[in-house]
Amino acid sequence: MRRSPAHLLFALCAALLPALAEAQATAFLFGTVRDETGGTLPAANVSIVGTQQGTVCDAQGTYRLAVPAGQSVRVRISYSGMRAYEEEVLLNAGEERRLDASLRFITLGVIDVQGTRAQRESGIERIDPRLARFNPSPQGGVESLLSGQIGVVMRNELSSGYSVRGGNFDENLVYVNDIEVYRPFLVRAGQQEGLSFPNPDMIDRLQFSAGGFEARYGDKMSSVLDIHYKRPKAFAGSAMASLLGGAFHLENTMLHKRLRQITGFRYRTNQLVLSGLDTRGEYRPVYTDLQSYWTYDLKDNVELGFLGLYSRNRYSVVPQNRETEFGPFNQALRFTVYFDGQERTAFETYFGALSLNVQATRDLLLKFQASGYRTYEDESFTIQGQYLLGELERDPGSSEFGEVVRDLGVGTFLDHARNTLEATVLTVAHKGYLQLPNDRYLQWGVDARRESITDRINEWSMVDSADYSIPLSTGEDLELGYALKSRLSMESIRASAYLQNTWRWDQGGDRWWTLIAGARAQHWTYNGQTVASPRARLTYHPGWKKAITLDSIVDRDYSFWLAGGLYYQPPFYREVRKFDGTLNPDIRAQRSIHVLMGMDRMFEIWQRPFKFTAEAYYKAMDDLIPYEVDNIRIRYYGTNNAKGFATGIDTKLSGQFIEGIDSWMGISVMTAQEDLKDDFYYWRYNAAGDTIYPGYTADQVAVDSSRVEPKLIPRPTDQRVNVAMFFQDEMPRWPTFKVHVNIVFGTGLPFGPPNFSRYPDTLRTEIYRRVDIGFSKQFLGAEGQSHRGWRRHIDNLWLTAEVFNLLNINNTIDHTWVTDVSGRQYSIPDYLTPRRFNLKLIAWF
């Protein structure tokens, strides 16, 4: 039977009607998720309660979620470490409604125990920067919060430096607002270093990765510290005053919230801490820092930003004397020095950055940046020391117990330096972010950087150990034990680019896979080398469930990941300069192949959230540039003549041992070793066939020798075991009283005599042990506390009493070497700070 066109049209409409009805039964929610300070929350979760339907906020904290129309649904917005927000909505078919949310922090804790999918996918750990104000640490910066994070080792409370999985500090990337920042070049000791770049009061997001990081991050071999400053939402500020200095910051909005600014000032003096060192003297450390970050909305989708910094670190000391006792009971020794002279160092830094962010479409964000970094560094010292090394009386019954009964060495040393360095780094960069269909996320970037460095070196030292160094003189000329004078300059351009994509596959039942893969490349004009680094990370969330009863099923919230890639580290200026004060134009990038696998689990104990994380890793390294560590100064050999590896296991347990207050504990076991390709030494033998040890063997005349090639030796950062714990507690009946405890334990690090040879550096320092504790009392801001009169202008007011190095343990940072007349060498430990006390008053308004 032949159908008419009207019948066909009716049948087609009947077939399409259900689909059209279903399409019209959909509505959309969109908005921005922020924290209580106004900062956006990328990767915040937005979901419909009781369903599997949801989405994740993008890098700007915005979301778009499809919801059923014509029925009431409850929308939940959540972010780890913050109180979730829920709201019931009823939308008409086709309606689009804005729903913004501001989430409140749960506690002052550093640990995100709930976790988010985006954080698990990228391997980035998010840390609460506000805890830096409560963390009992003489250093005081946000870097102190890294102690105990996966793979991190920190052994110097005076420095912001840290090592990650066998690497030194130069192997770590540090970004502020997507711009790489630096530490002073000439710094020798932690007391000279001063304030680090990041200001804790201005930070919105603080994220850290210990390895296996994405291609969007730069070319370093160890870790990434990614910091973003706040974009204020309203007027606020803070002030802090302590015996170690103070800080102040203000933030506000103007022009109907289109213009935003946050400005912070810091002043710090470590005189209280330095006065406890073995070297007594007049210490005058003064560190100041001023930063300001402005953003302005040119249009609703175009933002202009500026970040400026001026930093001035001044350190001077007139040493007077030093007395150090060391050694075992059967050979207790005392090293006494009387000083003349003084030391002065000055580091002055200027930094400025302009940024333009364009939200071209709902799914496309474009960033453009230009920045300039300028540093002036000056190091001057002339210090003479007259020393005495003596053996102490060990017999408790003797009237001279504890006194010097035998002189082992008497001598004089003279150290002199007049060094200056100027460095300028200019950078232009572009980054793009595109949300693609099928839950894919594409990122790319290009940048070019011009580096100009001028270095003037004039330093020498002399040691006269009771005529020991006099044989270095010939005729009427005295040859110094060490002398270096040079003027160096280096100009170069680096260009780099990266591309990476994210693929997500949801398989239902809270089971999903995510793959992040990409590559980056860099070219450096100084040596003409181009390197390419592919990187990938695969994450699996099995969505396991466990039935407790017939009506009760709980999540067994595990995730597993496998990551790896090729990580190059093109050299910067210090790696290029050799011990003789020349530059090596043939230097190449160091190379490391990373392979790591890990897992984490979210669970509850005592109805409180906890998280356990474990990672195992292996890094195969080649074209390494060997180096030696002198206090915190890293001195490179300037040649690619080593290969090595690092491997280990990191574990971490974090959670609320006390309800509402976060704590953690981390344990790391690792080894890092290297093999210098051209190192060797000789054993010398006397006529009796005995090995000759200078200062010990009676017959010092060599008649034979044998060549030894050391093969693998430990790298300078080879700390086999590290345990770190941060614990917070509060009084049960007085919740405004809180206690914060830092505990660190670490095995010894390799060291050796200062002879510019790596193979003797196989001795081990003493075990590192340190306990810091802080007691805090909240006077304003808690429930039930008065806000009348002047108090109404203050949101929170805290008073903290801190005890640094509670157990007063002598921890070693370096060694001073002296030689007696027989040629025997002694290593005298240079101790870090003893027990010290501090008071701190903190106010937020």
Distance CA(561)–CA(542), nearest Å, equals 11
Average pLDDT of the residues in 203-222: 93
pLDDT reported for residue 366: 95
Strand partners, 685: 691, 704
Residue scoring higher pLDDT (547 or 464):
464
State percent of the chain over pLDDT 90: 55
pLDDT reported for residue 477: 55
DSSP letters of 625-657?
--EEEETTEEEE-SS--EEEEEEEEEEEEEEEE
pLDDT reported for residue 783: 67
Beta 552-569 vs 590-605: how paired, if at all?
antiparallel
Q: Give the strands of the sheet with 172-176, arranged side by side.
A: 125-127, 203-209, 223-229, 172-176, 179-180
Question: Given pLDDT bands bounded at 50, 70 and 90, which one contains residue 631?
Answer: confident
- What CA–CA distances, in Å, run from 734 to 108, 339, 730, 739? 17, 51, 7, 12
Q: Are the C-beta atoms of 563 and 540 separated by less than 8 Å?
A: no
Question: Given pLDDT bands bounded at 50, 70 and 90, which one contains residue 547?
Answer: low
The answer on pLDDT for 106 being more than 80 is no
The answer on pLDDT for 685 being more than 70 is yes
Beta 96-98 vs 26-35: how paired, if at all?
parallel
Distance CA(334)–CA(85), nearest Å, equals 64
User: How many C-beta atoms lie closer than 10 Å to residue 623's C-beta?
Assistant: 17
DSSP letters of 703-718?
-EEEEE---EEE-TT-
Q: Are the C-beta atoms of 831 and 272 separated by less than 8 Å?
A: no
User: How many C-beta atoms lie closer than 10 Å to residue 5's C-beta?
Assistant: 7
Q: Are the C-beta atoms of 721 and 747 separated by less than 8 Å?
A: yes
- What CA–CA distances, in Å, run from 832 to 136, 157, 245? 16, 8, 20
In which residue are the tokens 């590559």 written? 519
The answer on pLDDT for 370 being more than 50 is yes
Residue scoring higher pLDDT (531 or 656):
531
Distance CA(707)–CA(784), nearest Å, equals 77
Q: What average pLDDT does the chain have?
A: 87
Question: Given pLDDT bands bounded at 50, 70 and 90, which one contains residue 456?
Answer: very high
In which residue are the tokens 């954080």 written? 119
The answer on pLDDT for 327 being more than 60 is yes
User: How many C-beta atoms lie closer than 10 Å to residue 55's C-beta?
Assistant: 16
pLDDT reported for residue 707: 86
Residue 607 structure tokens? 């109805």
pLDDT reported for residue 8: 43
Q: Are the C-beta atoms of 81 and 52 separated by less than 8 Å?
A: no
Residue scoring higher pLDDT (544 or 219):
219
Ranges assigned E (strand) in 659-793: 661-676, 681-685, 704-708, 712-714, 721-730, 737-746, 750-751, 763-764, 768-780
Per-residue pLDDT reduced to its tens digit, 586-611: 999 999 999 999 999 988 887 788 88
Of 102-111, 216-225, 491-500, 740-749, the poorest mean pLDDT is in: 102-111
Question: Given pLDDT bands bounded at 50, 70 and 90, which one contains residue 113?
Answer: very low
Strand partners, 282: 318
Closest CA to 746 of 816, 669, 800: 669
Q: Are the C-beta atoms of 476 and 537 separated by less than 8 Å?
A: no
Residue scoring higher pLDDT (619 or 480):
619
Residue 550 structure tokens? 């017939």
In which residue are the tokens 């002694």 written? 826
Distance CA(612)–CA(593), nearest Å, equals 26
pLDDT reported for residue 13: 45
Q: Are the C-beta atoms of 269 and 288 separated by less than 8 Å?
A: no
Per-residue pLDDT reduced to its tens digit, 41-91: 887 889 888 787 888 888 788 899 988 888 888 898 987 656 788 888 888
387 Cβ contact partners less than 8 Å away, ≥ 6 residues apart: 335, 336, 337, 338, 409, 410, 411, 412, 413, 818
Average pLDDT of the residues in 138-160: 89
Residue scoring higher pLDDT (437 or 614):
614
Residue 65 structure tokens? 């979620």
Average pLDDT of the residues in 413-434: 95
Closest CA to 151 of 60, 104, 88, 213: 213
Structure letter (DSSP) for residue 791: G
44 Cβ contact partners less than 8 Å away, ≥ 6 residues apart: 33, 56, 57, 61, 63, 77, 78, 79, 103, 116
Distance CA(216)–CA(52), nearest Å, equals 31
pLDDT reported for residue 260: 95
- What CA–CA distances, in Å, run from 822 to 435, 697, 829? 73, 10, 21
pLDDT reported for residue 5: 46
Burial of 271 (C-beta count, 10 Å sphere; 0-12/13-18/19+): middle
pLDDT reported for residue 614: 96
The answer on pLDDT for 111 being more than 50 is no
Residue scoring higher pLDDT (128 or 716):
716
pLDDT reported for residue 472: 45
Distance CA(413)–CA(421), nearest Å, equals 26
Is the model's pTM score more than 0.75?
Answer: yes
CA dihedral 150, 442, 531, 218 (to 10 degrees): -40
pLDDT reported for residue 116: 65
Q: Are the C-beta atoms of 148 and 664 separated by less than 8 Å?
A: yes
**Phi, psi for residue 412 in degrees, rounded to 5:** -135, 140
pLDDT reported for residue 730: 85
- What CA–CA distances, in Å, run from 35 to 64, 233, 783? 18, 10, 21
pLDDT reported for residue 11: 47
Q: Any idea how long the chain is?
A: 845
Of 475-484, 506-515, 564-573, the poorest mean pLDDT is in: 475-484
Question: Given pLDDT bands bounded at 50, 70 and 90, which one contains residue 481?
Answer: confident
Average pLDDT of the residues in 571-580: 93
The answer on pLDDT for 660 being more than 80 is no
Per-residue pLDDT reduced to its tens digit, 261-292: 999 999 999 899 998 999 999 999 999 999 99
- How many Cα neighbours within 13 Å face the side chain of 632? 25
Q: Are the C-beta atoms of 811 and 769 separated by less than 8 Å?
A: yes
Structure letter (DSSP) for residue 765: P
Per-residue pLDDT reduced to its tens digit, 342-352: 999 999 999 99
Of 6-10, 369-373, 767-771, the poorest mean pLDDT is in: 6-10
Per-residue pLDDT reduced to its tens digit, 435-454: 998 889 999 999 999 999 99
pLDDT reported for residue 784: 67
Ranges assigned E (strand) in 255-363: 259-268, 279-299, 302-326, 333-361
475 Cβ contact partners less than 8 Å away, ≥ 6 residues apart: none
Beta 796-804 vs 836-844: how paired, if at all?
antiparallel
Distance CA(652)–CA(110), nearest Å, equals 13
Question: Phi-psi region for residue 792, left (φ > 0), alpha (ψ -120 to 50) or beta?
Answer: alpha
pLDDT reported for residue 36: 65
Element (H, E) at 598: strand 590-605
Distance CA(29)–CA(98), nearest Å, equals 6
For the ranges 7-21, 182-196, 814-828, the maximum mean pLDDT occurs at 182-196
pLDDT reported for residue 526: 96
- What CA–CA distances, in Å, run from 821 to 66, 405, 690, 829? 84, 18, 22, 21
Residue 753, SS3?
coil
| 245-249 CB contacts, 8 Å cutoff, 24+ apart | 245/140, 245/269, 245/287, 247/199, 247/201, 249/199, 249/201, 249/202
Per-residue pLDDT reduced to its tens digit, 785-794: 667 777 778 8
